[in-house]
Structure 1
Amino acid sequence: MEAPAGTPYSIHVDGDRIPDPASRLQHDDVHGPSVLVDHDTYAWGVPWTGRPWHEAVIYEMHVGTFTAEGTFAAAAAKLDRLAELGITALEIMPVGQWSGRRGWGYDGVLPFAPHPAYGTPDDFKAFVERAHELGLMVLLDVVMNHFGPDGAYIHRLAPEFFDDDRHTPWGAAINFNREAVRRFWIDCALMWIEDYRLDGLRLDAVHQITGPGSDRFFDELSHAVRGLDAGRPLHLVVEDERNEPGLRESGKYDASWNDDFHHAVHTALTGESGGYYASFAVDPIGDLCLALERGHIEEGQDRPRRKSARGAPSSHLAPTAFVNATQTHDQVGNRALGERLVSLADPAAVEIAFALLLVCPYIPMIFMGEEQGARTPFLFFADYGGELGEMVRKGRAEEFAEIAALAGKVPDPIALETFEASKLTWGDTPDARHWRETTRACLAFRAEHTTPLVASGREDVKVSRTGDRALYARWTFAAGTLDLYLNFGGVGRFETRPDAPQLAFNVLETDPYALSIEARAK
């Protein structure tokens, strides 16, 4: 029997009605009926042939806090501001539906269905179409390593979907040794790319996709995506805290998030040394030299303050295999008070670090608001009720209980006020204009010089220290060279050539934070 789009439906299990785990749309929350969707009825009107990966300048966006309204439509109305600065790609934090109205998106339970607080499927398609009209790629962050704690009826419908021998930090591990499980996630990936015309995906925490069948899954997923006749390049990015280069070496995945670069910059500017910053705080400038020369810093070698080695050699990978950032949703939002880097360190130093991110050959990623020097926090927030809400509230407080300065100050993650405090403001202040001009200047230099050089192929890179907190880097490409001088709180050696295209910040001898980069064609 046929049913029209918009028809609600449920799956009956032992007398109960549950939503379809592959629901494309919910009638309301994650516990109610699913709704039939006909994706072919959307009238696409903007031609789009995509962009090559080496042109990517990524902007990480949480739809719910990007604007006051927190919707796809409201976000679409501001995309021209990003494109005008030289940003070329959006990476949207997960939109697969989770329980409640607000959250980061990483506790989704219906990964095929866009979160209704953001809008309808057609609203998301209109957002993508507006981005393409402005020359922006759209990548979606997808979570395939676990389901959230409320509304994941797939546990009841298909318990074999999960691996009883493993567990992730966030929930039951998934059994990728089953063909049907692999097919579920591959169908999910293909739906977002085909039905919403996305340009690619970012796979969250692939270090938790392990066990029998996981290698086969990564191969099959890449093969399925690469096999699409999409009429545009399609890109696959991973988050892998192991620093393993294998997925990129195979050519099946384009890039991986590179937290090493972030950690070196963060410790250099803040002096923080707790937790995962410990090994990077020993010699952050030395580590930054490694990041600029090799990509990853930890490549399997012994490191001070680290009990076991992490990573494998990566310098043979192209610069485009690394997504670098000075802020991300993780690094900001997992702080108790959600402070951005500009609130933790000298803003002049943070601006130089931001310029470094944007002009050097690796793929840069801007965390939303960073382009305007935003001071608004990005806090952890959720919308669970009852016992689960109390558990989340208690767990968040206990996570920071040993830090005396935070006693009684950790925002309530369930409170609406915590979510509202995380929303960007869009005031046109002198400070915001200054940061936007910095962003625009750096990305103009990148588009004119860095990107064409990267596209020509890298031949060599040498990085050396020129002072306790200063360095010099030269990247040699088939088409020319990039020379970069950086001071991170100490005056180093600067050399400039008036005949070379140059971008410079604070290069007087007395400036403790400074950057100069020059491009020269062969």
Structure 2
Amino acid sequence: MRRGHQMPFGAALAADGVRFGFWAPSASRVTLLTHDREEEMVADDGWFRLHARALGAGALYSFRVDGEATVPDPASRFQPRDIGGPSMVVDPFAYRWRDGSWRGRLWEEAVVYEAHVGTATPEGSFTALTGKLEYLRDLGVTALELMPIADFPGSRSWGYDGVLHYAPDHAYGTPDELKALVDEAHSLGLMVLLDVVYNHFGPSGNYLPTYAQTFFTERHQTLWGAGINYDGETSATVREYFINNALYWLEEYHFDGLRFDAVHAIADDSEKHIIAELAERIRASFPQRHVHLVLENNANEARWLGAAESGTPGLYTAQWNDDIHHAWHRILTGESDGYYRDYDNPVARLGRGLAEGFIYQGEHSQHDGVARGEPSGHLPPSAFVAFLQNHDQIGNRALGERLGLLTDQNKLALARAALLLGPQIPLLFMGEEWQASTPFVYFVDFPDDPDLANAVREGRRKEFGGFAAFGDETGIAAIPDPTTEETFARSRLNWDEALRDPHSSVLAETKALLHLRRDEVVPLTKTGLLDARWRSPGADALEICWRFGGGSLRLLMNFGPDIYVFPVESGERAIWSSPGVALDGDATLPPWTGTMLVGK
């Protein structure tokens, strides 16, 4: 089987050459540059087109704008020489897929493993990550989620500063190597999701303002400067650029879903918001597949989530639930700086989050200074992706420490079991399954812009200057320089440590919990949620009960220093308990323990 996405942008192979479409409404003249010639393109209402009959797959090309700037194709499928080099003509139909019968998996079955391609393996490549897929399957993971791979400056980045949205970054491998990763995952029963960034472009290598000034608008300001023009003059083409990008990854690369980064930062005053149109177009394009669309949305807008009345997927499948993370983090570490101050009384906050989804459902946030969120109790648990760690919550710390360095191991074991056996969709950040000791530090690479590199370095130091630990020269010096190769290398997983204690014991525990989830929890969640409730019978005690069509789950936890006793209902059985928990008519929980009960 062969796959390709037809789009109005970029280079398209034809039987007799290559057809180019380049949108440059601010340019008066554009020429196509190849290795041995320069050809004038034909202007057509902001578009410049050319049918180059002498070219084929593998050809390198650029565009020269008004006789001056030489730029890559904004819809380039591959940039073998980084963002400033020429684009490559790629034949999307050259790869022969083996997964013709693959239609995806139900979202209720999802256990998500977030990975950064460049640091997940020593080689930092698509091919090397492919070699880890059997390990993930055996662990109990069902969905690999890749952090953004759109081409970014240099050879190392988290991916959120990408500027060429259609080109898998050359540092990780070729388009066909990425397709082979997805293909092999499907052969093992694994879904593959991709993180995409449609709220901004990176600060280096974005050539669009040179020839398409109306791609951006000063009417909307974001953390990264002028907003993307989703709602003004010529916005139809801008919207198509991103809609086609989403369709491209889902069709040409056969990804099973997308995670949309920070949609709260997308400003759009159109009658139909771009994230609504994105979902509608995607749903209409793949009616026979399980395609999962996941939001990151600090606004906690429940309106985007939930299935349609017909039982078919709604606009978006789920949302990353930072609320649950923040409550857990405050319970486990006691940290109350920044947004953690919104999570006082964290045990009760956690109860609401586990039972109802969002913790902030319209309440005023001290940190944000505004009311945030919408009621979410009507949504199923699968509408929320829960996590104890992710790239943001680790990497946005000054030293990139993982949670295992910040809390007691017994406390973390309780949180791990609650995460992996709860009915929300659990997410593990790469290496979390064995409690990796390696940090995940913020890193970038701006080889052609030393001034920007210095600004990022100084900005990182300034960001943490207000913290007591980094208030003097010694503290500042401890903050890793995000622009160096060394910082990047420190973030690379050390797979060898997973083979020895204490890491091997954590890995075995994680695997056992995920197999319990598969056998005991997922069959219940598939029967549909009837209701969920929570109570905190003591300041440090928490009970959450979810009733499904096929039975119930009841999670009991004791976060306090004293023993707490919960009644056990008739017909309930424990599928997991912390060491030391006694179940004899009642559930007797020592400090920092819990149990998960299944009822009929």
TM-score category, normalised to shorter length: over 0.9
Deviation at 1:111, TM superposition (A): 0.7
Alignment map for 1:398-477 (pairs within 5 Å): 398-406=462-470, 407=475, 408-427=477-496, 428-477=499-548
Deviations 1:441-473 (A, max 9, x none): 211221122112111111111211133222111
What amino acid maps onto 1:289 in structure 2?
Answer: G
Query: What's 1:136 paired with?
Result: 190
Question: Of residues 148, 161, 171 in structure 1, which corresponds to 2:202?
Answer: 148
Work out whether residues 466 and 493 of structure 1, in 8 Å CA contact, stay in contact via their aligned partners in 2.
no
Question: Compared with structure 1, are the counterparts of its residues 131 and 247 closer, same or farther at alpha carbon in structure 2 (3 Å cutoff)?
Answer: same
What does residue range 75-474 of structure 1 map to in structure 2 within 5 Å?
75-177=129-231, 178-213=235-270, 215-229=272-286, 231-249=288-306, 251-280=314-343, 282-302=344-364, 307-385=369-447, 386-406=450-470, 407=475, 408-427=477-496, 428-474=499-545
Q: Deviations over 1:91-115 (max 9, x none)?
A: 1100000001001000000010001
- After TM superposition, give the deviation of residue 303 of structure 1 in Å: 5.6
Amino acid across the alignment from 1:403: F
How many Å separate the matches in 2 of 1:293 and 1:312? 15
Shift of 1:380: 0.2
Q: CA deviation at 1:355?
A: 1.1
Q: Structure 1 residue 50: deviation in Å?
A: 0.9
Partner SS for 2:304: helix
Q: Aligned partners of 1:273 and 1:190: how far apart in 2?
A: 41
The answer on whether the counterparts of 2:546 and 2:552 sit within 8 Å (CA) in structure 1 is yes
Report the CA distance shift for 1:305/1:77 in structure 2 as closer, same or farther (over 3 A). closer
- Distance of 2:167 and 2:287 partners within structure 1: 22
Q: Which residue of 71, 89, 104 maps to 1:36?
A: 89
Partner AA of 1:518 in structure 2: L
Give, in angstroms, the shift of residue 135 of structure 1. 1.1
Residue type of the partner of 1:199? D
Secondary structure at the counterpart of residue 495 of structure 2: coil
Deviation at 1:267, TM superposition (A): 0.4
Contact 1:86 / 1:440 at 8 angstroms: preserved in 2? yes
How far 1:308 moved relative to its partner?
A: 2.3
C-alpha distance 303-276 of structure 1, shift in aligned 2 (>3 A) = closer
> Where does structure 2 lack aligned partners over 5 or more consecutive residues?
1-51, 309-313, 582-587
The Cα of 1:511 is off from its aligned counterpart by 3.4
In the TM superposition, residue 231 of structure 1 has moved relative to its aligned partner by: 4.5
The match for 2:18 is none
Quote the residue 1:18 is aligned against. Answer: 71
Q: Deviations over 1:298-344 (max 9, x none)?
A: 11124667632211111111111111111010010000000111110
- SS of 1:252's equivalent in the other structure is coil
Select between 209-218 and 399-408 the one with higher mean Cα deviation.
209-218
Instruction: Kindly report which structure 2 residues correspond to 1:38-77, keeping only aligned pairs within 5 A, or say none.
Output: 38-46=91-99, 47-77=101-131
For residues 75-99 of structure 1, the C-alpha deviation after alignment (integer angstroms, 9 at most, x for no partner) is 1101111111111001110000000
The question of 1:492 aligning with 2:564 is answered yes
User: Does the C-alpha gap of structure 1 residues 305 and 70 become closer, same or farther in structure 2, counting only changes over 3 Å?
Assistant: closer
Tell me if the contact between 2:150 and 2:168 (Cα under 8 Å) persists in the aligned partners.
yes
Local SS of the residue matching 2:552: strand
The answer for the alignment partner of 2:37 in structure 1 is: none
- Where does residue 594 of structure 2 map in the other structure? 515
Contact 2:365–2:371 under 8 Å retained in 1: yes
Q: Equivalents in 2 of 1:372, 1:362: separation in Å?
A: 21
Kept after mapping to 2: 8 A contact 1:26/1:32: yes
The alignment covers a number of residue pairs equal to: 520
Q: CA RMSD in A?
A: 1.7
- The alignment partner of 1:42 has SS state of coil
In 1: Cα distance, 2:84 partner to 2:596 partner: 55
Counterpart CA distance in 2 for 1:218 and 1:310 is 19
Q: Which residue of 1 aligns with 2:551?
A: 480
Contact kept, 8 Å, 1:90 with 1:138, in 2: the verdict is yes
Quote the Cα distance in structure 2 between the aligned partners of 1:269 and 1:501: 24
Q: 1:195 to 1:303 in 2, by over 3 A?
A: closer
1:49 offset after TM fit, Å?
A: 2.2
Greater C-alpha Rg? 2
Structure 1 CA distance, aligned partners of 2:194 and 2:271? Answer: 21
Matched position secondary structure for 2:526: helix
TM-score by length of 1: 0.96
Counterpart amino acid of residue 387 in structure 1: D
Q: Which amino acid aligns with 1:451?
A: V
Q: Specify the SS of the correspondent of 2:305.
A: helix
Equivalent residues of 2:560, 2:591 under 8 A apart: yes
Separation of aligned partners in 1, 2:271 and 2:302: 16
| Alpha-carbon separation, structure 1, partners of 2:350 and 2:380 | 18
Distance 2:564 2:363 in 1: 29
Distance in 1, Cα, partners of 2:573 & 2:195: 39
CA distance in 2, matches of 1:358, 1:204: 24
1:99 aligned partner, one-letter code:
P
For residues 565 and 239 of structure 2, the distance between their equivalents in structure 1, rounded to whole angstroms, comes to 54
Looking at structure 1, the residues matched to 510 and 227 of structure 2 have their Cα atoms a distance apart, in angstroms, of 41
The Cα offsets for residues 18-51 of structure 1, whole Å up to 9 and x where unpaired, read as 1011111113010111111111110111342210
Q: Matches of 1:305 and 1:50 in 2, distance apart?
A: 39
One-letter amino acid of the counterpart of residue 395, structure 1: G
Percent identity reads 45
Q: TM-score, normalised by structure 2?
A: 0.84
1:505 to 578, 585, 591: 578
Greater RCO structure (CA 8 Å; 6+ sep):
1
Q: Distance in 2 between matches of 1:434 and 1:448?
A: 21
**Aligned AA (1:367):** F
Q: Is the 8 A contact 1:149 1:171 kept in 2?
A: no
